[in-house]
Structure 1
Amino acid sequence: MNKVHGKLSGLKTSQVKRLSNLYRRRLDPSAVVSQELARALGELSLEFHKPVSVLVDRRGRVVTVALGDAADTPLPARPGEAEGRLYGLRLVHTHLKGGGLSQGDLSKLFLNRLDAVVAVDVRANARGDAEVTQVHLAQIAPPRAEAEDWLISPPMSMQRAEKLDFLELTRALEEELSRSARARETKRSSQERAVLVGLNTGESPFESDSRLAELAELARSAGATVAVMSKQQRAAPDPRTLIGRGKLQELVSRAYHEDADLLIFDRELNPAQAREIAQETQLKVVDRTQLILDIFAQNARGREAQVQVELAQLQYQVTRLAGRGRAMSRLGGGIGTRGPGETKLEVDRRRIRDRIAALQAEVAQISQRRAEGRKGRKASEVPVIALVGYTNAGKSTLFNALAKADVLSQNRLFATLRPTTREGWLPALGAWGGKVLYTDTVGFIRDLPEELVDAFRATLEELHDAELLLHVVDAATPGAPDRVAAVNRILDDLGVEVPRTVVLNKADLAAPAELKDLAKRYNALGVSAATGAGLDALKASLAQLLEGPRHVPLPDDPGRAYGMTFHD
């Protein structure tokens, strides 16, 4: 007996067998539905007082039978798909109360790209036999911005449903879908198009907007084009889909019309949520942690950075392998799948754990080498100033300006992964000036993934041996206090107890009132690493902090200090 799905609780074996007999039915492939199949479905629906559903392939064979509606009818797996192709199955089911196609019917159609959804309105006639009153038909619509996701035909009679050439309708629809796909492919660049998904569970509007804007910057740094940005307000995350099924279906529709193939969430998804969302949407799903790991993977230069990034990626992936093959192989490669290592998502856990152990041993060697290097620098008694700060605050640009170096500086997140140390000179240090060492470090970000913190611990150990941390803050971008707090939290979590001082970078781009407020708040100087304004005053301040209290010719008021040092 072929398997029957759906709501079978309480049914006798003989009743389940009658449902199973539907597998023997054959339908003229060109007909929407036949009188015989509709009547058979109707008789069973009246007997069980529930809808009965079948999936029919293009050869007219019944491939799935379920007692229940569209949601109770599982789809058989198919080996991949081509853009512009439909599923090759139509869903035919009964409605006992009429009313046309339900939202659940249409969602099943759209999310799974079925050939069609057919609803047969059934009622009992005077003799108690099943009688078909109307047939409803819907097919997916070709993607057009602001258009509906489906095409619903007017209700039709059973006779009309039998005469309508369904195969020709489907062939014409697939041709249009293929033309649309080819046109999009011609326009499409190599960048993936992404739908960004933010979840607000009680944050302020500014904080929520800031998180989503930061996610957009992360996406662009990873190489994606942001097609849609969407926020969902909820009291708590949905345990299965994070944002709820209704919102998820809305986003799938927007992705379809905007030609997006990637969903990026601003929260970390647990493995069950990632699988559920991928299954519901048939899109590639990436969370914030994966996105950050991907950026690190792209920017990893040199063996040291590559080892640490690969370790972080594998530690993230090892608990998320089961069930992700379909979600990640659907589009193949791209954001969330890059990495400097050899491991693929399909590699079994044992091999990944072996690889993690090998990488951890290599990271330990990196830590030892760096410790020896720090010993040498300590023996020289040259003070070390480590630049820290939020990613893209301009640390590398300031580092180059202070040390007259040529470290890569880009207007993108996490451009610097490998700490770099260069000599510099502070004219105000001592009677004749003095030499210092500047260290440029990896940028931080709020909710920095634990896997990255652990993997880069050997690199971040550099901070413990510095005499001073120069906390570089982007003064031109709103939300500086939140970013300062995020960096301080990470430093505290790492147990870094080195003295810190704040410098406000990009002062030439900041609003004067905002810059003055930040200067007062953090007792900080404003500088522009790009133009060099304020650097002499910064060097004098650093010398004072390294030497201890002594007279520096700067006003007591930080706002006036900004006025003299930056503008002068």
Structure 2
Amino acid sequence: MEKIFGKTEGLKKSELKRLSNLYRRRVPADRVLTPELAQALAGLSQEIGRPVSLLLDREGRVVRVGVGDAKDLPIPEGARGERRLSGYRLLHTHLAKGGLSRPDLSVLFLNRLDSLAALEVEDGRPTTLHLAFLSPPKALAASRWEHVTEDWRILPPKPYFQYLDFDHKAEVEALEEELARQARVRELVDGSGERAILVGVDRGEGPEAEAYLSELAELTRTAGGVPVKKVLVFRPHLDPRYLVGLGKLEELKSLAYHENASTLIFGLELTPTQAREIERATGLKVLDRTQLILDIFALHAKTPEAQAQVELAQLRYLLPRLVGKGKEMSRLGGGIGTRGPGETKLEVDRRRLQERIVHLSHKLEAFTRRREEARRQRKRRGVPLIAVVGYTNAGKTTLLSALARGGEPGEDKLFATLRPLTRRGFLPGVGEVLFTDTVGFIRQMPKELLTAFRATLEEVREADLLIHVLDASEEGAMGRYRVVEELLAKLGVEAPRVLALSKADRAAPYDLFYLREKLGGVPVSALKGTGVSELREALAEALLRVGVRPQPWAQAPQYT
């Protein structure tokens, strides 16, 4: 007997048998239903006193039978494949008048069904049929549609026999063609990047929450995504299961449909449970801010050390989120020569991750030893080390290129530099110095990254002097300054600082004046070369104050 889903408690064996026989039914691919199927469903519903639901595929085969309302019949996951719609349609009975309910239509929309039909039953006979399809995003009502909402369109209710000749297949094909056309138009406008809805949560932070959301959009663009909508949700208390609540998730699902977005990106770190439940409720790919930053790091990691650091951070983030999915994760790993049931697939995956984490940790320890040896050699030579620190995309790499020999051109991207790039330079009155670039900082820096990049950040701790690069043209520069200083304090960095107000040529005069009044600092435009000489002098004075001894050739011409 085939499985019957839904509310089957209390049904007789003979009734279950008759329900199971529905699996043998077949509806022509271009029809909503047949007279024989309508009579059979009505008779069964009347006999058991409950609604009956059928899930059919595009060929008209019955793939699932359920007892109860449309929401009681589970829809298989991953059914859509390359199609815009799921390839399934749902036909169920109503024992009372009233048409399609809101839960019925939510099932249609959330599962991207080809269609949803409700057949009213009266005295064991089929009567009125209600039929609904998804509405193309932003679609306008056609004259034959009685009611149009943003997410679905409901055709006029009619006696079921008037829908026997309705061309269901043509309707679905037209809808899929329109969805594909709109997707092509959006791709031409936005490029082929993954379209994403960004979700920020305001727990009372006000303007700061808006700044977080704007930064999330910048992170998304850096990762190659297209942020199509930003949604800020005010929620003082987070939902432990759905973060922003199930109702808000349905709104986000609707928004994603109309914007042809396939991804939700949250500005907070999601727990494993929240990520799983949100993905299950929306059917969309779900990322949080930490995953997005890790993706960017993986994109920009070029050297073996940076790649090992990023992979270690990703694995440490993934390990507590590794969960099994159905039978795939419950297979036994034992075999010939073993005793007992062996390990489950989930346990094997977890063990392999742990082994890889240990391997990468040992690999990074070797890199750390090399760095320590290089630092000892630098100290023996007596060459001062100046570390360039700052918020990500503040212009650190471009400034280093202006100060040192052989610097690299910067990029207008977040986290464009992952490896600590060290270059020689010259300061008047001091002599030869070493400048080293570092990983950019960001608000709420993921702890996995701080742990994985601790060897790289040791360069900051061992430096004789820091250049704190602050983008003077950026709105909220004071907040970014505080973020960097708090992270430096957290890392135990006590070296003196010289503040460089970068991109001064792009900053508003009042903003530049305000920052200098509050923080001091040297205005610099590394691209135009203005302020670089003044910054060199400030660096030389700071090094002399901390006891660095000038080299004999300190008055030699500086590098250009």
With normalisation by structure 1, the TM-score equals 0.83
3-state SS of the aligned residue for 2:392?
coil
1:105 alignment partner AA: D
Structure 1 counterpart of 2:386: 385
Q: Any idea what SS the aligned residue of 2:320 has?
A: coil
Distance in 2, matches of 1:535 and 1:184, equals 44
C-alpha deviation, 1:484, in angstroms? 1.6
1:500 counterpart = 2:497: yes
Q: Which runs of 5+ in 2 are unaligned?
A: 142-149, 327-345, 548-560
Asked if 1:136 is matched to 2:130, the reply is yes
Deviations 1:542-565 (A, max 9, x none): 223222299xxxxxxxxxxxxxxx
- Cα deviation, residue 119, structure 1: 1.6
Secondary structure in structure 1 of the residue aligned to 2:501: strand
Change (3 A) 1:168 1:368: same
Aligned to 2:120, the other structure's residue is in SS state: strand
1:512 to 509, 525, 528: 509
Inter-partner Cα distance in structure 2 for 1:44 and 1:501: 81
How many residues end up aligned between the 2 structures? 519
Q: Which 10-residue stretch deviates more, 162-171 or 408-417?
A: 162-171
- Give the equivalent residue in structure 2 for 1:559: none
Q: Give the conservation status (yes or no) of the 8 Å contact 2:23–2:63.
A: no
> 1-side partners of 2:494 and 2:191: how far apart?
47
2:477 aligned with 1:483, yes or no?
no
- 2:98 aligned with 1:99: yes
- How far the C-alpha of 1:46 sits from its partner, in A, is 6.1
Gaps of 5+ in 1: 124-128, 326-344, 551-568
Which residue of structure 2 lines up, in the alignment, with residue 5 of structure 1? Answer: 5
Q: Which amino acid aligns with 1:469?
A: L
Aligned residue type for 2:102: Q
> What's the CA shift for 1:269?
2.0
CA contact (8 A) 1:275 1:323 kept: no
- Between the aligned partners of 2:59 and 2:108, the Cα distance in structure 1 is 19
Q: Which moved more, 1:508-517 or 1:456-465?
A: 508-517
Is the CA contact 1:22–1:62 (under 8 Å) kept in the aligned structure 2?
A: no
Determine the structure 2 residue equivalent to 1:328: none
Asked if 1:538 corresponds to 2:535, the answer is yes
Corresponding position of 1:32: 32
2:76 is the alignment partner of 1:76: yes
Q: Work out the CA distance in 1 between the residues paired with 2:393 and 2:180.
A: 42
Quote the residue 1:151 is aligned against.
Answer: 153
Deviation at 1:264, TM superposition (A): 1.9
Structure 1 residue matching 2:89: 3-state secondary structure: strand
> Deviations 1:385-434 (Å, cap 9, x if unpaired)?
2111100011111111222432231111111111122222222x4xxx43
3-state SS of paired residue (2:422) = strand
The percent of aligned pairs where both chains have the same amino acid is 51
- 1:177 deviates by 4.5
Alpha-carbon contact 1:56-1:63 (below 8 Å) kept: yes
1:529 corresponds to which residue? 526
**Does the residue aligned with 1:117 lie in a helix, a strand or coil?**
strand
Q: Distance in 2 between matches of 1:52 and 1:191?
A: 43
CA distance in 2, matches of 1:179, 1:12: 47
Within 2, Cα distance between the matches of 1:256 and 1:263? 11
Deviation at residue 478 of structure 1 after TM alignment:
1.1
Q: Report the residue type matching 2:277 in the other structure.
A: E
Give 1:447's aligned residue: 444
Whole-Å separation in 2 of the counterparts to 1:180 and 1:35: 37
Determine helix, strand or coil for the equivalent of 1:17. Answer: helix
Structure 1 residues 236 and 323, CA gap change in structure 2 (3 angstroms): farther
Q: State how 1:78-477 maps to structure 2 within 5 Å.
A: 81-84=81-84, 86-123=85-122, 129-144=123-138, 148-177=150-179, 189-204=191-206, 206-322=207-323, 348-427=349-428, 429=429, 433-477=430-474
Query: What TM-score results when the alignment is normalised by the length of structure 2?
Result: 0.84
SS at match of 1:318: helix
Shift of 1:474: 0.9
Q: Specify whether residues 224 and 437 from structure 1 end up closer, same or farther in structure 2 by C-alpha distance, changes over 3 A only.
A: same
Asked if the contact 1:25/1:37 (under 8 Å) is kept, the reply is no
Q: 1:377, CA displacement in angstroms? A: 1.1
CA 1:186–1:215 in 2, change beyond 3 Å: closer, same or farther?
closer
Q: Which stretch of the first structure deviates more once superposed, 512-521 or 169-178?
A: 169-178
Measured in 2, the distance between the counterparts of 1:46 and 1:54 equals 16
Look up the SS of the partner of 2:321 in the other structure. Answer: coil
CA contact (8 A) 1:408 1:416 kept: no
Secondary structure of residue in 2 paired with 1:250? helix
